[in-house]
Amino acid sequence: MKPVIEIDNDDSQRFNYRVTLHEGDPVSLEVAGVKVRVIDISANGVAFRYQGEASQEIYPMVLTFEVDKVYSVAGNLKINRRKNPEYSAEFVDINEKDVETITRLIIECQKRDIRRAKALKSEAKKRS
């Protein structure tokens, strides 16, 4: 008899790649007009640091970044997790074109991560 495999259909599972941003990545996020520091980002949402208290459920946001040119995505963020000073939120009220634009940013950040890893590996090789 074959074993039974159960798949948990929990909606909170992530289906998009989440990339951690580094110092110097050309990304900025304003939440309710306040510039915050982005921790990581996916096509569906973002984690950020904010020293104040985010008590509302939904906030207006503007995400700006540069890949081959400067892009700007405006919409709203729905706060899912609050662990002051870190917050996680999902993008709401953005269209499919905006999701594709954010995906371009994620791909570019992945490329930069690969280049950083190769550079670190090359430096370590030179030292040994």
Q: Which of 88, 22, 98 is nearest to 59 (CA)?
A: 88
At 15 the pLDDT is 61
Using the 8-state DSSP alphabet, how is residue 3 labeled?
Answer: P
Confidence band for 6, pLDDT divided at 50, 70 and 90: very low
Residue type present at position 69:
K
For the chain, the first-to-last Cα distance in angstroms comes to 54
- Give CA–CA dist 102/64, Å, rounded: 10
**pLDDT tens, residue by residue, 68-120:** 899 999 999 999 998 889 999 999 999 999 999 999 989 988 888 899 889 99
Q: Are 59 and 77 in contact (CB under 8 A)?
A: yes
At 112 the pLDDT is 87
The pair of three-digit structure tokens given for residue 95, joined into one six-digit string: 């269209």
